[in-house]
Amino acid sequence: MLFLSPLLLWFLAAASVPVAIHLINRRRHKTIQWAAMRFLLKATRESRGKKKLRHILILTCRTLALAALALAAARPVISGLTGWGGGSIDTVVLLLDRSASMEIRPGDGLESRRQIVLEKVRDVIGDLKPARLVLIDSAGGNPQEIPSPDVLAELSATAATDSGADFPAMLARAAEFLTEAQGRSEVWLVSDLQRASWRPDDERWHSARAALLALPQKPSLRVLSITGPTAANASVSLLSSRRTGGELLLDLEIQRSGEARGNSTIPLTTRINGGTTTDSLTVPGQSLRFQKRIPLPADTESGNGWVSIPADGNPRDNVAFFALVRRATSRAIATACFWGLPS
């Protein structure tokens, strides 16, 4: 069995607390011979066995409740994905979120959420042999069969991207694929549960649900969510850009992770047409919106560039690109291009 939060298994030790309290309380009692107690002991002697059994049952229930709580907090993968006693699975359709937010690293800062979930899926699929694995990623959107779960993390279709995710469309594509699948199937939705990716108010959820219910063998849906504390992270985004006179005006926003407090100094590097400058910004609290003015030579009609901050918990949101393009009216304007890393 695999656990998404194995460190929480240490809380299984809390299951011994009721037993320890029981033993301590037993040692606290001291027997004192008292003549009047003979009649009370005689009256309760017959029901002593029932009371003892009831106390043992209560103690057992308390212990099992704490152990179950610790196991639930550790989030076992087998029970959350494949279940127990449900029979063999013939086809697993994996809906993989490859959006930029999946590149953020948990608190240890070693691997991204995308890398962690791919390892978990690889291990679980390995236990489901000979289940057929079909991948639908958020960037490509087309089903492709994976020959072996061992190569899952090495495929270009599971690599990091700067795009978003559209789970209603992915689920509809999975339902379309499963119309030709044979046997028992399951759909695994792997994501960090960003609202922009799930689009809970989208009407396409109803059509995707209807398509799944119309299948001869209705598949099971499993959600493998990757959430929890993350490493410190800051992002830079380009809100708008325009050219006024001899300057390029960039409207920028820097956001820090939700746990950020106080002021932070972040270097901002700007590069345009081969020239690079670096400024230090003080970000109060969690976000800062500001304008960046870039002087342009008088003969500049087109070009491109980017603004960046140092790499941190998520390297996919540290750079924003822009371009200067020339319209037919001979006036140059600036437009935002996309997120990503400079080559």
Instruction: Note the pLDDT tens digit of each residue in 164-176.
Output: 899 999 999 999 9
Residues 287-311: tens digit of each pLDDT: 899 999 988 887 777 888 999 999 8
Q: Rg of the Cα trace of the chain?
A: 29
Least confident of 103-112, 294-303, 333-342: 333-342
Q: What is d(CA 138, CA 188) in angstroms, rounded to the nearest whole number?
A: 13
Mean pLDDT across 117-125: 87
Amino acid at 7: L
- Residue 330: how many other CB atoms lie within 10 Å: 7
Question: What does the mean pLDDT of the chain come to?
Answer: 80
- Give the pLDDT score at 82: 43
Segments making up each domain of the chain, as ranges = 6-74, 77-225, 234-339
Structure tokens, 270: 């700007």
Confidence of residue 27 (pLDDT cuts 50, 70, 90): low
Mean pLDDT across 236-240: 92
Task: Kindly state the percentage of the chain with pLDDT values over 90.
Answer: 32
The CATH number of 234-339 is: 2.60.40.10
Superfamily, domain 77-225: von Willebrand factor, type A domain (3.40.50.410)
pTM: 0.62
Between 198 and 80, residue with greater pLDDT: 198
Task: Kindly state the percentage of the chain with pLDDT values over 70.
Answer: 79
Question: What's the number of CA atoms in the CB half-sphere (13 Å) around residue 106?
Answer: 14
Mean pLDDT across 265-288: 90
Between 180 and 262, residue with greater pLDDT: 180
